[in-house]
Amino acid sequence: MARILAGSFIILSSVLYVMLMFGEKEEKSESLVQQNDYPIVFVHGLAGWGRDEVFGLKYWGGLNDFEAHLNAKGYTAFTAAVGPISSNYDRAVELYYYIKGGTVDYGAYHAEKYGHSRYGRTFKGIYPEWDGQHPIHLIGHSMGGLTNRALVDLLIDGNAEEQAYAAANPGMGLSSLYDGNRHWVHSVTTIGTPHNGSTFAESDNVLSLFIKELVLEIAALSGGDFSAFDYDFKLDHWGIKRGRNEDFEDYLQRVMNNGIWSSEDMSIHDLDTNGAAYNNEWLDTHEDVYYFSHTGQTTFQNRLTGHHMPNLLTNPIMVQPALFIGSYSRIQSGPFIDESWWPNDGLVSTISSLYPFHHPAALYKPGNEIKKGIWNYYPIRKEWDHLDQMGLTVASYVLPNEDMNDFYEEVARHLLALPAR
């Protein structure tokens, strides 16, 4: 880990001047008129964390703070915190209660099927007014985009398995979340989301080790006392909690060595290409919701091998995944993976981030009519790795990333220009 950090600052010394002096900013392309004032909720991805964790280092901004920036500009923005390594389903349920308030109810059927507690934490709610008359915009990075899609699906379609289980077991009760017919989300925006899976997740062991390294990197970047590092895996429903005086490294090892990783109700089974293909069969693109996606690429093609390699500005912790994804192919045992999957942002192939396969989609072009029920995907943004999208560029280790403030402000500007209900 020390080598990773040292590499970060070595690269920083040689490229910081170039990044600050010659980095391109996205131009504000359109004249937009605000038509709604719905709140924006940021949802983190795999290994993410909340605003009150990690000694103040923000998932959404690093040394910067995208939520605070948007609020200062007159928008209404919130940041959610859900299980960093939990399954997409569990995260979606947690997200509902984190926004609305109440005690997390994963569902009696789901809890019995996977062997964890039915109930989780209790939240006061960051936006208790949330309902059909007070909809929201959801912005998700990485797995956060999948979580947002799953939440929209639960809200609108409900959960037939939970409904059937409750009908057969009247005393068990049923959360209103699983009733469906809740059209509470106006738009979903995904950023670097593996809609069709990440080939880096094809090996459970590789991904779990990467998660551990990523958490350790975050701990180092936060600059606080490592033993007291305030990072929460939020696995209460699995019976895993950090002891009052437990050293963080002991807590981390206990989580990483736990048998929960073999459960299908964990993140690693949602993130590979087979899991994503399964999820895309039941996660609908709903006709009354606006969908947008932003995709980054941090690799270039090696002229000798044809494989993709990370460019010099790629965050060091993204280099190994970028190389793996940039050369991985498969013709058996799952979705066909060829060279079209090689361009990537360091963790997600660009082809996977644009939109879910077999769902309606169209390239976003300024001035064109934006339609609901279709994925409006933006052109691929080059020199943009998976951590850049969070504001954690190499330069941002020592300086706030103002360019990303501009990016998220522009995203917010477009969302509030959508017609109100």
Q: Return the sign of the alpha-carbon dihedral for residues 148, 150, 153, 158.
A: negative
For residue 10, is pLDDT > 50?
no
Strand, helix or coil at 351? helix
**Stretch 68-84: mean pLDDT:** 98
For residue 13, is pLDDT > 70?
no
pLDDT of residue 24: 43
**pLDDT classification of 401: cutoffs 50, 70, 90:** low
**pLDDT classification of 75: cutoffs 50, 70, 90:** very high
Catalytic (active site) residue 386: yes
Mean pLDDT of the chain: 90
pLDDT of residue 228: 83
77 phi-psi bin (left φ>0, alpha ψ -120 to 50, beta other): beta
138-188 confidence digits (pLDDT tens): 999 999 999 999 999 999 999 999 999 999 999 999 999 999 999 999 999
**Stretch 260-269: mean pLDDT:** 92
**Stretch 308-325: mean pLDDT:** 94
**C-alpha neighbours within 13 Å on the C-beta side of residue 99:** 28
**pLDDT classification of 236: cutoffs 50, 70, 90:** very high
**Stretch 31-48: mean pLDDT:** 96
For residue 400, is pLDDT > 80?
no
pLDDT of residue 333: 78
Lowest mean pLDDT among 222-226, 328-332, 379-383: 222-226
103-145 confidence digits (pLDDT tens): 999 999 999 999 999 999 999 999 999 999 999 999 999 999 9
Going from the N-terminus, what domains does the chain have, and what CATH number goes with each? 2-7+35-416 (3.40.50.1820)
Q: Return the sign of the alpha-carbon dihedral for residues 19, 299, 14, 11.
A: positive
Taking the mean position of all CA atoms in its chain, how far away is CA 310? Answer: 21
* Residue-by-residue DSSP string for 71-113: HHTT--EEE----SSB-HHHHHHHHHHHHH-EEEE--HHHHHH
pLDDT of residue 216: 87
* Cα–Cα distance measured from residue 80 to residue 68, given in angstroms and rounded to the nearest whole number: 14
Of residues 142, 175, 187, 198, which has the active-site annotation?
142
**Stretch 21-50: mean pLDDT:** 79
Could you tell me which of 203, 87, 197 has the C-alpha nearest to residue 150?
87
pLDDT of residue 394: 62
DSSP state of 389: G
Percentage of the residues of the chain whose pLDDT score is greater than 70 = 90
pLDDT of residue 204: 64
Of residues 105, 270, 272, 345, which has the active-site annotation?
345
Of residues 386, 396, 403, 414, which has the active-site annotation?
386
Highest mean pLDDT among 145-159, 226-240, 320-334: 145-159
For residue 66, is pLDDT > 50?
yes
For residue 12, is pLDDT > 50?
no
Catalytic (active site) residue 142: yes
